[in-house]
């Protein structure tokens, strides 16, 4: 049932086993989104046989044959319609979507290689970086994917306590900062706090049902929940576009300095302190 107010959501997932926690959560996403009247696009990276490796084959019509520069060739291919068909198709899906959900098992504290390769190849120069607006390169809150939302759903093998504020692995949201802030907020998406299922290797039916219910509730609030309050590059916090102004998070260094406090913004988004405890 597609309501006139329905939006379009792209789900990208990276788990080949149909009975896995990740794939059960993907089913829950699709059901929840369709029940709300949204249109669902999917990129099932394993089923697609997605080419993970970013290499010379990504540039069938090179700007320069003598030397392979990924940045220069990406810019050339994107600007001149010379990208490969698989990359173009993924870009079409993202540009058609109001939100992108990435669902994957956490492998070595990051994405499976096939999903990293989806980012590496699809995030073209001129679109996801080197995006020009009013003469300047726009990034962090503005760019080719501005106006879209993003949400990670991760299946984590270890226990939640290992990812707690003082847990041995480090807090999950901080481990994922290179993805949420670096890969998603950078090209302009508003990123929601990550949804995680812990102990994913040994879940019984009851805990799986609970996880699906919790996830479904998050999916239903996809367009309502407050995003992480990452600071936009051009919102005033980085006067030189590189470094925080002295008066912003004074004296603070590190990843969390790039997340605003609720009092800094009008919309009371998720502040840094909440992430630290997540």
Q: Which residues bind a second copy (CB under 8 A)?
A: 16-17, 19-20, 46, 50, 52-56, 67-71, 105, 107-114, 116-117, 119-120, 123, 140, 157, 159, 161-162, 164-171, 174-175, 177-179, 181-183, 186, 201, 233, 238, 241-244, 249, 252-258, 276-277
Q: How far is the CB of 183 from a second copy (least distance, A)?
A: 5
Q: Which is nearer to a second copy, 61 or 277 (CB)?
A: 277
CB of 190 to a second copy, least distance (A): 17
- What backbone phi and psi angles, to 5 degrees, belong to 267? -95, 10
CA-to-CA distance for 198 and 159, rounded, in angstroms?
5
Is the Cβ–Cβ distance between 187 and 233 less than 8 Å? no
Residue (120 or 214) nearer to a second copy, CB: 120
Q: Indicate the residue among 107 and 223 with the shorter CB distance to a second copy.
A: 107
CB of 63 to a second copy, least distance (A): 14
Question: Is the Cα dihedral 17, 20, 26, 32 positive or negative?
Answer: positive
Supply 103's token pair.
Answer: 């669902």
Q: Min. distance of Cβ 13 from a second copy in angstroms?
A: 14
Rounded to a whole number of angstroms, the minimum distance from the CB of residue 107 to a second copy is: 5
Contact 220, 36 (CB under 8 A): yes
Residue placing its CB nearer to a second copy in the complex, 121 or 218: 121
Cβ distance to a second copy smaller for residue 6 or 170: 170
CA distances (Å), 209 to each of 28, 63, 268, in order? 10, 52, 31
How far apart, in Å, are the Cα atoms of 43 and each of 21, 53, 59? 17, 17, 22
Smallest distance, Å, CB 242 to a second copy? 5
Q: Are strands 136-138 and 131-133 parallel, antiparallel or unpaired?
A: antiparallel
Residue 31 or 175 having the CB closest to a second copy: 175
* Three-state SS sequence of 246-263: CCCCCCCCCHHHHECCHH
- Give CA angle at 136 (100, 180), nearest 5°: 30
């Amino acid at each position: 049932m597609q309501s006139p107010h329905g939006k379009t959501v792209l789900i990208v997932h990276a788990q080949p086993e149909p009975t896995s926690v990740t794939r059960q959560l993907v089913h829950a996403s699709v059901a929840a989104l369709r029940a709300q009247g949204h249109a669902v696009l999917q990129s099932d990276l394993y089923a697609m046989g997605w080419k993970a490796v970013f290499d010379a084959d990504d540039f069938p019509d090179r700007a320069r044959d003598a030397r392979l520069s990924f940045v220069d060739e990406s810019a050339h291919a994107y600007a001149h319609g010379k990208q490969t068909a698989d990359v173009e198709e993924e870009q079409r899906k993202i540009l058609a979507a109001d939100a992108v959900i990435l669902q994957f098992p956490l492998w070595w504290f990051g994405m499976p290689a096939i999903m990293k390769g989806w980012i590496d190849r699809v995030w073209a120069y001129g679109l996801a970086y080197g995006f020009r607006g009013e003469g300047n390169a726009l990034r962090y809150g503005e760019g080719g994917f501005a106006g879209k939302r993003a949400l990670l759903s991760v299946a984590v093998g270890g226990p939640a306590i290992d990812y707690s504020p003082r847990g041995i692995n480090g807090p999950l949201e901080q481990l994922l900062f290179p993805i949420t802030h670096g890969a998603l907020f950078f090209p302009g998406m508003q990123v929601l706090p990550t949804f995680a299922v812990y102990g994913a290797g040994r879940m019984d039916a009851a805990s799986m049902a609970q996880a699906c219910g919790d996830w479904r509730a998050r999916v239903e609030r996809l367009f309502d929940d407050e995003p992480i309050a990452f600071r936009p590059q051009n919102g005033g916090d980085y006067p030189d576009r590189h470094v925080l102004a002295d008066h912003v998070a004074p004296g603070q260094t590190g990843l969390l300095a790039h997340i605003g406090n609720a009092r800094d913004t009008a919309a009371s988004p998720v502040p840094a302190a909440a992430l630290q405890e997540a």
